[in-house]
Amino acid sequence: MRIGIQASYAGDFSQTAEEVRDLESAGLDVVSVAEVYTFDAVSQLGYLAAVTERVELMSGILPIYSRTPALMAMTAAGLDHVSGGRFTLGLGASGPQVVEGWHGVPYDAPLQRTREIVEICRQVWRRERLVHEGPKYTVPLPADQGTGLGKPLKLINTPVRERVPVLLAALGPKNVELAAEIAEGWEPILFHPERAADVWGPALAAGRARRDPALGDLDVVVGVPVAVGADVDHLVDAVRPGIALYVGGMGAKGRNFYNDLARRYGYEAEAETIQDLYLAGRTAEAAAAVPEELVRATSLIGPESHVAERIAAFAEAGVTTLVLQPLDDSREGRLRTVETMRRLAG
C-alpha cells in the first residue's frame, strides 16, 4: 500500500516544502495539494516539483468548473513536465458551496462535464488537433457561427507522457461509476471499510465492466486521520469537528453530498442532527454529535497492533493509497507518523 500525505495549505508553504523533502526521505510515496478557496494548488505543486525528486505529486483536487478543459490539460502537462513525470491530475466536482459561492459559476451537469474534460485532456496530451463536440464543451465552435477559426490547434509542447494519470474524487453512485470507468484513480472521502462495498460496490462493478484495460487497476486513494500510540484515544475528539464540517456544513439541506454519504452508511438520524446543529451555528454541539463509531471506522487511531489491523481492513476493502492526516500537528510528529505507517503498511 502506498503512503501519502495532504500538504498543509495554511502557513508558510516553503516550510511545508522542506517538510515534504524530509518525508520523501522517510518513504513517502505521494503528496496531495488541495484547492478549495485557498491559494491555488498549481503554484504550490510546481514549487514541490522543484524541491523533490521521487514523490508523486497530486492535485487533491482541482474543481472541474474553475478552469477550461484545455487549460486543465495544459496545466497537467506542465506539472508533469516540471516534475519529470510525477504528476497525477486529481479532479472533482467539488460542491455548490465552493463552485457557486466562491467561483460564481453554476453547478451543473458534473457527470457530463467530468467525462468531457477527461476526454479533452487526453486529446491534448496525445497532441491531437483538438476537436470536441460534446453537450457541454465544443472545441472549436462551428465555422457557420462566424468564429473565424481556422485549422484546429494542438499542444505546441511534447508532454512527458501522453497519458497523465487522472484521479476523480467521487461520492455518488453515478460519479463513482464514472471514476471506475474512465480514470486511473478514485478518491472517496470518509471511507468506511466495512460499509464501502454496500455503498459503492455496485457502482464500482458497473464502471469496471466498461473500463479500458489500458487504464490498469483502479488506484483507490483514501484520506485518513492518523494517530498511532498507546495513549491516543482522546484524539477521537480531534476528528469530530472535521466530520461535522462536511456532514453538517458543506452545503444546504438536500445539497450536501457528505451528509448523504453518512446517511447511506446508516447514520440517518445522526446526520440529520449534525446538519441541524451546524446550520444553526452550534458547531461544537454538531461535532459532539458525530458518532464515535464513525470516527473510529474512518480513522486510524490507536496502538500499532490496532492500526495494523485497520490498515488490513482498508486494503481488504480495495484501498491502494492512504493519504495521511496526522493528528500530531508537529513536524516531528508528522515525520514519525509517516515512518510508522510506512513500516506498518509494508
User: Could you tell me what percentage of the chain is helix, strand and coil, using 3-state DSSP and rounding each to the nearest 5?
Assistant: 50, 15, 35
Q: Does the pLDDT of residue 96 top 80, yes or no?
A: yes
- In the predicted model, what is the mean pLDDT of residues 291-297? 98
Superfamily name and number for 2-225+303-345: Luciferase-like domain (3.20.20.30)
What local confidence, expressed as pLDDT, does residue 95 receive? 84
- In the predicted model, what is the mean pLDDT of residues 214-224? 98
Q: How confident is the model at residue 97 (pLDDT cuts 50, 70, 90)?
A: confident
Asked if residue 4 lies in contact with residue 323, where contact means CB atoms within 8 angstroms, the answer is: yes
What local confidence, expressed as pLDDT, does residue 312 receive? 98
- In the predicted model, what is the mean pLDDT of residues 19-44? 95
CA gap 219, 241 in Å, rounded:
28
Which segments within the chain are labelled E, that is strand?
2-6, 30-33, 56-59, 62-63, 87-92, 132-133, 138-139, 166-169, 185-187, 219-228, 300-302, 321-326
pTM, rounded to two decimals: 0.95
Q: How confident is the model at residue 193 (pLDDT cuts 50, 70, 90)?
A: very high
CA gap 140, 64 in Å, rounded:
19
What are the phi and psi torsion angles at 10 (to 5°)?
-115, 155
Q: Does the pLDDT of residue 148 top 80, yes or no?
A: no
What local confidence, expressed as pLDDT, does residue 144 receive? 61
Q: Tens of pLDDT along 158-186?
A: 999 999 999 999 999 999 999 999 999 99
Nearest to 127 by CA among 149, 158, 85: 158
What local confidence, expressed as pLDDT, does residue 145 receive? 60
What local confidence, expressed as pLDDT, does residue 132 receive? 93
Asked if residue 68 lies in contact with residue 221, where contact means CB atoms within 8 angstroms, the answer is: no
CA gap 28, 21 in Å, rounded:
9
Q: How confident is the model at residue 63 (pLDDT cuts 50, 70, 90)?
A: very high
Whether omega for the bond prior to residue 64 falls within 30 degrees of 0, making it cis, is: no
Per the DSSP assignment, residues forming a β-bridge with 31 are 5, 57
* Cell matching residue 342: 510506512
- In the predicted model, what is the mean pLDDT of residues 240-246? 97
What are the phi and psi torsion angles at 232 (to 5°)?
-125, 5
Least confident of 37-41, 65-69, 111-115, 273-277: 37-41
* Cell matching residue 287: 461535532
- In the predicted model, what is the mean pLDDT of residues 280-298? 98
What local confidence, expressed as pLDDT, does residue 33 receive? 97
Per cent of the chain over pLDDT 70 is: 97
CATH 3.20.20.30 residue ranges of the chain are 2-225+303-345
What local confidence, expressed as pLDDT, does residue 147 receive? 59
What local confidence, expressed as pLDDT, does residue 8 receive? 84
Q: Which residues contact 343 (CB under 8 A, 6 or more apart)?
A: none
Which segments within 112-188 are labelled E, that is strand?
132-133, 138-139, 166-169, 185-187
